[in-house]
Amino acid sequence: MISPKLLGLIIGWCLWRTAEAAFGLTSKGNSFSIDTNAGLVFDVSKSTGDITSLMYNGVQYQGTSKMTHLNSGLGTSKVTAETINGHVKITIVASSQPVTQYYIAKPNDATIYMATYLTGEINPGELRFLARLRRSAVPNGWHGDVANLDGCTAFEGKDTFKCPNGQTRCKMYTSDRFIEDQVHGVTGKNVGIWMIMPGVAYETSSGGPFMRDINSQSGDDQELYWYMNSGHVRTEPWRFGLHGPYAMQFTTGAKPSPELDTSFFSTLSIQGYVPASKRGTASGFATGVVPNFQPVLHWYNNASQYWTVPSSTTGSYTSPLMKPGTYTVKLYRGEFPIATDTVTITAGSNTVRNITSAEPNPPVVWRIGAFDGQPFELKNGDKIERMHPEDVRMGTWGGSYTVGKSSAKEFPMALFAKEGGAATVTFDLTKEQAAAETTLRVGTTLSFKGGRPAVKIGGWTGRDPGAPKLIDSRGVTRGAYRGYGEVYTWKIAAGTMKEGSNTLTISSAGSGDARFLSANWIVDAVELQGPIGPHSPK
């Protein structure tokens, strides 16, 4: 038998737990506390807008040294909280930055929905959401150990580390292309904490579908990021306006779906939010992409950007819902642009627009790699996104390639002015080919410190094309491979080369610092255009 006193205590505890679990907003001391009634209770500072507590299923996940916030914190801010249309809405207006941050809670949903409204450049200029979490509770970073700093020492800048076993680590190595990065997260025992970027979350970001940036870092804290505007290999100006909606969701471990319904934002008076009813679409056919390459369509103007992947069989496509306006539209084969057009989008309607490849198709004597804007098929290209060129797991740099005998994986994916030396290509020409004018074509995906191709064949030396447009960021050493994507061509007069064996020497012009921080460039593909022969690509 349970005594009446004990029964009363049990009933009281149950009533307390029920009250504690009810969805809603509570003001307590220096914080607003939001209970989602789905296991997640989070607190927001009334003075800074920092998230100071992240309790999920009774476990505290918020780190202790630094809080969770936009950038590294907004400092003193005006923070208001309200319940509106059944949702809790926290609004943080920064006092010293041109930014307003929103946190939204939805009943029975262990998710913090967010949006960031930006009216100008912030200091520092990059825009990111950063959750700082207890490492002991969520030890597993994104992409495994690529940014696990345990026992490792910084050897390049403050963000690239070398471990005792010769492997390298960097938070940039956790990045994925925006076109694919809709969900990423960190995990632990019975928990996953996930960033979700649904639908048009990237529309006010910069860099396009192939931009990549930091997703996590495993140091004293477990850091979980979403970068909205990035200065890492930056190729275009910032966009301002509303970034999002996006979200941080807690699960018992499973990766959530990227199909997150955020239509309820239309009822919450979120500055800059554009509902579906005030957007339009484009549709049609994107054709001319060589089979076995992914087609990608990209729409952009100064205010917004969008993308989609057309059907690889028919080329049919429908764009995401876009804000009204006139957009440049590019068609890519992989990441290599092959057509450009413009389209005007009108709210509430669909614009039919077809686009087809405008890429020329000259005869080719031989080709190394593929003009697809990516170096992955070349030597070390399969590793470069997740490790430093100096990593012990990397192959050698430079090297020799023989047309008709070598594979693409024998030609280096990058050439450095002060490391690895040149690459050579040995090839045979028929009498007819040697007697014809030819064109040497070299595609690059990214340049650092003015790096560009320097080419020689026998006694012929190609002109120096000059340094390309500077990107003020380390690239290949932090796992990046995409920049402006310059393509260089040289005309080679008839009779310059000889019948039989010829050797192309290709290296990096420029100087820069030592080794892998010297002038360098990443290879997309190399080809000699001219009369076809036994080694011409099929």
User: CB pairs under 8 A, 24+ apart, for 455-460?
Assistant: 455/490, 455/504, 455/505, 455/506, 456/504, 456/505, 457/492, 457/496, 457/497, 457/502, 457/503, 457/504, 457/505, 458/496, 458/497, 458/498, 458/502, 458/503, 460/492, 460/496, 460/497
Every domain of the chain with CATH number 2.60.120.260 lies at 364-529
| Reported confidence tier of residue 178, pLDDT bands at 50, 70, 90 | very high
Q: What's the rounded mean pLDDT across residues 417-427?
A: 96
pLDDT for 538: 80
| Reported confidence tier of residue 348, pLDDT bands at 50, 70, 90 | very high
Is residue 124 over pLDDT 80? no
How many of the other CB atoms lie within 10 Å of CB of 132? 24
pLDDT for 394: 97
Task: Tell me which residue has tokens 């809709």.
Answer: 182
CB 294 within 8 Å of CB 283: no
pLDDT for 12: 41
At the fourth CATH level, the homologous superfamily of domain 364-529 is Galactose-binding domain-like (2.60.120.260)
Q: How far apart are CA 307 and CA 319, in angstroms?
A: 7
Every domain of the chain with CATH number 2.70.98.10 lies at 19-143+174-267
How many of the other CB atoms lie within 10 Å of CB of 465? 16
Q: Of the given ranges (11-20, 37-46, 130-139, 273-282), which has the lowest mean pLDDT? A: 11-20
pLDDT for 472: 85
pLDDT for 512: 86
pLDDT for 14: 43
Q: Count how many Cα atoms sit within 13 Å of the Cα of residue 210 in the half-sphere of its side chain.
A: 27
Is residue 389 over pLDDT 50? yes
pLDDT for 16: 38
Share of the chain above pLDDT 90, in %: 91
User: pTM for the complete prediction?
Assistant: 0.93
Angle, alpha carbons 288-293-297 (nearest 5°): 65
pLDDT digits (tens, 9 = 90+) for 60-104: 999 998 999 999 999 999 999 999 999 999 999 999 999 999 999
Q: What's the rounded mean pLDDT across residues 493-505?
A: 97
What are the C-alpha distances in Å from 514 to residues 171, 385, 416, 511, 517? 23, 21, 10, 9, 6
User: Domain 19-143+174-267: which CATH class?
Assistant: mainly beta
pLDDT for 199: 80
pLDDT for 231: 84
| Reported confidence tier of residue 341, pLDDT bands at 50, 70, 90 | very high
| Reported confidence tier of residue 2, pLDDT bands at 50, 70, 90 | low
Average pLDDT of every residue of the chain: 94
Q: What's the rounded mean pLDDT across residues 385-394?
A: 97
Every domain of the chain with CATH number 2.60.40.1120 lies at 276-356
The burial class, CB within 10 Å (0-12 / 13-18 / 19+), for 12 is exposed
Task: Write down the CATH number for the domain with range 276-356.
Answer: 2.60.40.1120
Is residue 423 over pLDDT 90? yes
Q: What's the rounded mean pLDDT across residues 127-156?
A: 97
DSSP state of 444: E
| Reported confidence tier of residue 437, pLDDT bands at 50, 70, 90 | very high
